[in-house]
Structure 1
Amino acid sequence: MKYLLMVLGKQSDYDAMSGKRTDGPAWTPSDLKAMFEHMGAINNDLAEAGELVDAQGLAEPSQAKLVTADQDGRPVVTDGPYGESKEVLAGYWVIDVENPDRATEIAARAYACPLPEGAPNYPVIVHPIQGPGGCEM
């Protein structure tokens, strides 16, 4: 069964990681190293187990674009999502595992990522993927 594991974040989290002043704790180089090592170990273990389909961290939300259409159906492209938006997708794994318990086990490991004291720890979303090789309804 395939699952999408989604890691959330906010623009302020990316700012704190890059050394910009935020209302939360600043990330040190050792904090970043610990996070990247934790995520890398998950990727390596999933790859070794044959469970990894894809995994990516996403660029900061300020680099995202929103695409809608005007009343004539022409695309309208704007910057976004905006700083006041709630959490957005910061990264993901697509995994192919035997059962839902294994998917939640991996998500729990991702959630346990080391963070600076006081940094927000968002839930990891486990979403079944429908279709060939995905979950049945």
Structure 2
Amino acid sequence: MKYLVMVQCSQADYEAMQGKGNEHSPAWAQEDVQAMYAFMGALNDDLAESGELVDARGLTEPSRTRTVGLGDDGRSVITDGPYGETKELLAGYWVLDCASLDRVTEIAERVLQCPQPAGAPSYPVVIRPVDDGSADV
């Protein structure tokens, strides 16, 4: 079965990873960023080798987001950047083809082991099965 595995982040976290600490997260040193990328690269390599990796991507910072919605008049409303009340947004994802929910949960637990500086916020890893259209409605 295919699963979407998602990690979250905030604009403040992206800024911290660029060395600009804030009340939300301490500044990351270049070594911290390199350790994170090395960890994620090794994880992706292992998943590719096992045949479970379908796709994986990191996303750009939330400030580069564009949201398209409908206004009260039914016309499009386009907003650049995340809404002010939005705290966490999708930071990256994997599409995995795993034998079971238990297996994809093991992978999510591994994602949680990604190195980061002390005091950086920790977010849960979200797992959602991909609907293959075969479910009864």
Give the RMSD, CA atoms, in angstroms.
1.6
Hey, what's the Cα distance between the residues in 2 that align with 1:33 and 1:83? 30
Give the superposition deviation at 1:5. Answer: 0.5
CA offsets per residue over residues 29-60 of structure 1, 9 Å max, x none? 11001100111111000011110010000000
Q: What stretches of structure 2 of length at least 5 have no aligned partner?
A: none
Hey, what's the Cα distance between the residues in 1 that align with 2:43 and 2:16? 23
Q: Secondary structure at the match of 1:22?
A: coil
Residue in 2 aligned with 1:7? 7
CA offsets per residue over residues 35-88 of structure 1, 9 Å max, x none? 001111110000111100100000000100111123453322112313542211
Overall identity of the aligned pairs, in %: 56
Residue in 2 aligned with 1:115? 116
Q: Does 1:31 align with 2:32?
A: yes
Give the superposition deviation at 1:124. Answer: 0.4
Hey, what's the Cα distance between the residues in 1 that align with 2:116 and 2:32? 7
Residue in 1 aligned with 2:75? 74
Q: TM-score, normalised by structure 1?
A: 0.91
Q: Which runs of 4+ in 1 moved over 6 A?
A: none
Hey, what's the Cα distance between the residues in 2 that align with 1:14 and 1:34? 15
Q: TM-score, normalised by structure 2?
A: 0.91
Alignment of 1:88-107 (within 5 A): 88-107=89-108
